[in-house]
Chain A
Amino acid sequence: MKASPTTASVPVKRSMSVRAWIANYGVYVALALLVVINAIITPHFLTVANLRLQLIQTAPVLIVALGMAMVIGTKGIDLSVGSVMALSAAIMPLYIGYGTVPAILVGIAAGGLSGLMIGALVSYFGIQPIVATLAVLIGGRGLANVIGGEIKNLSDPGLAVLGSGSLLGIPYSVLSAVILVLVAAFLMRRTTFGVMVEAIGGNKKAAELAGIRIKSVLVSVYVLSGLLAAFAGVLVAARSSASDPRTLGLLMELSAIAAVVIGGTSLAGGKVRILGTVGGALLMQLIVSTLVSHNIPDSVSQMVQAIVIVVAVALQVGRRKA
């Protein structure tokens, strides 16, 4: 019998190794643990007000992370998201005169345009995603500052509602995050788009030979990321009723990447875990707020975040090699 070592493999039992299990579900376990710990040691943790606050603060990062997860699924990266947030928040005030909704739409559209440009550069020109999105990160924030200039007060009632209002007790920002999570999960699990994204990240050549149009999928994924980032920018601006392009969304790309990676989606592309991303975003948020509510200084908080990221990835990378 001719056998080629590279392709023959014996059927493997379905039981997962401990390591694989940790990599897949660790984030939820950690999350649960953290909730329990907080319930014990943090006063007022399990109050509606606090939980509400946690969710409100997670919402923007989560929304951005959804787009980031899809981009990473194609083996790409999007460093521009923070600047896109700032850009959309800077553009909004200019159109607020036309009404709340038009202004929001224009802001979001700006993100979509940025994504379109990036997607075209990556798929048609073959520019590396890190370089293309880096350029937008640098230029986009500058542009936002040029347009925005300084802190602008947004005293639009419609925006105020979006930022601080709620529907049946659930803040609109959280509601939109939930809806977007459901949409993203649906996209990835139940549509051809989701299969294509994961196929491109998993084995681009195979996807190409199966007749998948790589270029249009890539463009779409960056457009989506841009749209989501822009929407997150709108939310942040609405909540604080102000738009400061200098700081809005600063370092957001790092938080988003962290959430995605901790949630189990690998930087090497392939499987996109939407639920995991939610877990990752919540986990990072909880870690930060736990430290804050116990008056642990910002410095320690950042160092802890750094360690969590490395550990989370280390666990996954081990799994990949096995």
Chain B
Amino acid sequence: MTDTSQQGPAQPHEEAALALAARGLNKSFSGVHVLHDVDFSLRPGTIHTVVGENGAGKSTLIKSLTGVYQTETGCIELAGSEVRFNHPSQAQDAGISTVYQEVNLVPLLSVARNIFLGREPRGRLGLIDVRALNRKAAEVVQDLGIDVDVTAELGALGLGVQQMIALARAVTTEARVVIMDEPTSSLERREVEVLFSVARRLRDQGVGIVFISHRLDELWELCDEVTILRDGRVVHTGPMHELDRRSLISAMLGRDITEHGVTSFTDTDVSETTAEVVLEAKDLSAPGRLQSVDVSVRAGEIVGLAGLLGSGRSETVKAIYGGLDTSSGQITVKGGPVRRGSVPAALRAGIALLSEDRKAEGIVPELSVRDNIILGILPRVSNAGVLSNRRIDELVDRWIHRLGIKVSSSRQLISELSGGNQQKVLIARWLCTEPSVFLLDEPTRGIDVGAKQEVQALIDELAEKGMAVVLISSETEELVAGSDSILVLRDGEVSEILTDDQVDNSRLLSALVDGGQR
């Protein structure tokens, strides 16, 4: 629903000082280079979006601009003068306000209290002058076009309004730069519209806004300018309306083949149609997240799940594994039904899931590599509860060898390993459970090139030996190379299915780009 009449001035202002400018930003973490010579310019009175997939460096860029991180090189200018922020509060005091995805306000307090949290107008005895507080809050809120009772408790209001109040709070600091980091993720359509109208008002008042959202439709609706990041580099910057959906996504997701080489997936030409169906998931639904998703995988087949951020890929595999509350669905493995919503049941049935976020859901940091590997098969390596060291050592050594996990010993703490090796440990954990279905959510994310290729080759090998694999990857090239067929998800529903020779890069990109409006 792009209403171009709502967009701001098509022409940027004449050379007024940039609201915020950054030049030559470089940032690394533990030797991993995350931002490469990034330039960024925010004009006052514009809404500028920064786009990029996971790992492209969006978050790092924003954090570098707001004082959470300090970059190794480069300079940042605010309204023409150079600044250096060592702490987010400094950025705030200087006039950069950030609205986060999570509403970081106090639900118990009133709207007015929240808006002026920490900066309330004082009256006699230094106590908060409630009348002045409410009056000023009402002014702010009215100014932004939000119609809400400022004395109402924040927690009683809808999430959309709460997000708006967070925005209002950012505004009362008289910020000239407002950064909105995924503010619409939990909002319904109506609420999004209101948020937009507030943002436009701010823009019209001359505030420079940085807007980040993974919902691409919103970008054309709201933003004036766009900067696209890929692998830590700026690949494009310019007016929003000059870009169409296809070119935006290509720029976001495309890869320079000459630079990175092909994946380690081999071109299999297996005629899968004769193999038995191992996993059959029908009508998986979870209110607000999944809508009647069907997934079917044969032995030896790799089914890819494609989609942009928020399309429901992780939710789908979690639902199959029993880690997500579902309202409906039937799951069968090799013909036998699997109880929904129970991880032990899924494990018993032979399903394994490699989670997307290994830090939050995968590794147990204080435990050794050894303990992490056997975590899923404790009953199998013990007699009456007593661990059988012999069996464990044999199993663990075998997998360490097989997967090429670089450890000084199996007793080394997993937290000391590199990302790639940690991922291999987790893969070993799941392979120990001897699954017939392996669900892999971004298995090669955040690991070095060498490990990446090893993992890809491993997945290939597993499929060759008859395992049914579901693969999620944000790297389209990897997904295309690895999958025998691809399910394209959009807003929790299957929007398209690509099979056989439909599985190629340009076809996938089209599917991601088109496929119906919301």
Contact = CB atoms under 8 A, between A and B. Distances in A.
- A–B touch (CB < 8 A): the answer is yes
Contacts, number: 135
Contacts of B475: 2
A212 interface: yes
A2 B323 contact: no
Interface stretch (A83-91, A200-208, A223-231, A253-261): A200-208
Given A195-B375, A211-B347, A8 B382 contact: no
A239 interface: no
A201 B371 CA distance: 14
A14 interface: yes
B364 A199 contact: yes
Interface stretch (B104-112, B172-180, B410-418, B484-492): B410-418
Nearest to B360: A205
B89 to A, nearest CB: 21
A73 to B, nearest CB: 10
A5 B379 CA distance: 36
Contacts of A199: 364, 367, 371, 375
Contacts of B446: 2-4, 6-8
A74 B347 CA distance: 23
Interface in B401-448: 406, 408, 412, 416-419, 421-422, 429, 445-448
Nearest to A13: B416
Interface of B: 29-34, 54-56, 60, 231, 260, 321, 323, 343-344, 347, 353, 355, 358-367, 371, 374-376, 378-379, 382, 385-387, 389, 406, 408, 412, 416-419, 421-422, 429, 445-449, 475
Given A2-B55, A206-B361, A11 B421 contact: yes
B366 A198 contact: yes
A49 B365 CA distance: 45
A207 B365 CA distance: 12
Contacts of B366: 198, 201-202, 270-271
Interface residues of A, number: 35
A1 B449 contact: yes
Contacts of A198: 364, 366-367, 371
Interface of A: 1-12, 14, 190-193, 195-196, 198-199, 201-203, 205-213, 270-271
Nearest to B260: A1
Contacts of A14: 408, 412, 416
Contact of B359 (A6, A208, A209, A270): A6
Contacts of A270: 364-367
Contacts of B31: 10
Given A2-B445, A213-B344, 12 more contacts: A1-B260, A3-B32, A5-B32, A7-B422, A7-B447, A8-B29, A8-B32, A9-B418, A10-B418, A14-B416, A195-B367, A270-B364
